[in-house]
């Protein structure tokens, strides 16, 4: 097993960050909302919560898929949907005074539309009630169904995201069998066609055994699909019994890949060992 290097050690939260975490935790509890910060065990939770930002996770905390790199619980939600979630979400965003929010969700293959109708309504509610807030929607593939994709695209998000996650060769061994490399690229391309005013965003997890050329191929494929914003981060095993990282990329390697991504034509790139798809989302959009 490859030992975790020194540059992956997290600093302890400052008093200000701890206070911000307390405030966010209280708002989430009061409005019965979940975040991917908790569900996916994000390493940047203290930093983001400390600055009173969060990535909200819609449609519950149980995912119907089982990707090997993810810490979110897998199971069968049996069709459970909370229709009041979009309204409570808007209230929480207002209380926290956020200017940019990221909305994501678990995969819900137990629902005929994959949860797209609630996701789209959440986007619309936030945009209608808080017009000053920019919204980033990081969505699942909805099994490639056209109507769910069209419904989410039409909801008015400023950024539409779907994560490619893994290079082509490694997709079958790391992502759930219902996901695919080609499907993810198709989802992104169709979002671009349905919502030409929205920016497209995606993310890659590295350190799974991919080669540099495979990473560059994935970046070229994302640009070909119309993606303009991309994040690159290091795979960190989500559990003790999870598959170990094949290797840990040094910060300089991430810097070099970021430069390559910009030369390929991406408008904005965030890359680093602890970067996740929603990390510094507002800054990435601003660039």
Spans of all domains in the chain: 15-286
- Mean of pLDDT over the chain: 90
Report the candidate in 50, 43, 51 with the shortest Cα–Cα distance to residue 71. Answer: 43
* Bridge partners for 101 per DSSP: 135
The predicted structure's pLDDT at residue 17: 72
Of the options 3.20.20.70, 1.10.1040.10, 1.10.3720.10, 3.40.50.720, the CATH number for the domain spanning 15-286: 3.20.20.70
Question: What tens digit of pLDDT does each residue of 132-163 get?
Answer: 999 999 999 999 999 999 999 999 999 999 99
Label residue 49 exposed, middle or buried (CB < 10 Å: 0-12, 13-18, 19+). buried
Helix (H, G, I), strand (E, B) or coil at 272: strand
Q: What is the pLDDT of residues 242-252, one digit of tens each?
A: 889 999 999 99
- The whole model's pTM is what? 0.92
Rounded to an integer, what distance in angstroms lies between the CA atom of residue 251 and that of residue 271? 9
Q: How confident is the model at residue 283 (pLDDT cuts 50, 70, 90)?
A: low
pLDDT, tens digit (0-9, with 9 covering 90-100), for 2-14: 677 877 776 777 7
Chain-centroid distance of CA 130 in Å reads: 22
- Identify the pLDDT of residue 23: 83
User: Which of these ranges, 19-23, 43-47, 245-249, 273-277, has the smallest mean pLDDT?
Assistant: 43-47
Average pLDDT over residues 273-279: 79
pLDDT of residue 215: 98
Task: Look at residue 190 and tell me whether its pLDDT is greater than 90.
Answer: yes
Q: For residue range 50-97, what is the model confidence (pLDDT) as tens digits? A: 455 678 999 999 999 999 999 889 999 999 999 999 999 999 999 998
Quick check: helix, strand or coil at residue 124?
helix
Inter-CA distances, 211 with 56, 68, 217, 245, 257, Å: 33, 19, 10, 14, 12
Find the range with the poorest average confidence among 3-12, 27-36, 104-113, 266-275.
Answer: 3-12
């Amino acid at each position: 097993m490859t030992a975790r290097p020194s540059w992956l050690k997290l600093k302890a939260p400052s008093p200000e960050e701890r206070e911000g975490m307390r405030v966010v935790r209280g708002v989430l509890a009061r409005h019965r909302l979940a975040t991917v910060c908790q569900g996916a065990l994000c390493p940047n939770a203290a930093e983001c919560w400390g600055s009173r930002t969060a990535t909200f996770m819609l449609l519950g905390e149980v995912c119907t898929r089982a990707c090997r790199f993810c810490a979110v619980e897998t199971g069968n939600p049996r069709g459970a949907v909370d229709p009041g979630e979009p309204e409570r979400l808007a209230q929480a965003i207002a209380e926290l005074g956020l200017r940019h929010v990221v909305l994501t969700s678990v995969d819900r293959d137990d629902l005929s539309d994959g949860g797209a109708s609630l996701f789209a309504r959440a986007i619309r509610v936030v945009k209608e009630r808080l017009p000053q807030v920019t919204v980033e929607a990081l969505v699942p593939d909805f099994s490639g169904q056209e109507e769910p994709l069209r419904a989410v695209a039409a909801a008015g998000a400023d950024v539409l995201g779907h994560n490619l996650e893994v290079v082509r060769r490694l997709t079958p061994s790391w992502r759930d069998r219902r996901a695919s490399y080609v499907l993810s690229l198709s989802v992104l391309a169709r979002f671009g066609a349905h919502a030409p005013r929205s920016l497209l965003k995606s993310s890659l997890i590295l350190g799974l055994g991919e080669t540099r050329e495979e990473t560059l191929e994935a970046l070229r494929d994302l640009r070909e699909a119309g993606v303009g914003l991309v994040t690159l981060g290091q795979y960190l095993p989500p559990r003790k019994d999870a598959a170990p990282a094949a290797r840990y990329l040094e910060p300089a390697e991430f810097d070099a890949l970021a430069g390559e991504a910009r030369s390929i034509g991406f408008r904005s790139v965030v890359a680093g060992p602890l970067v996740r798809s929603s990390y510094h989302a507002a800054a990435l959009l601003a660039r």
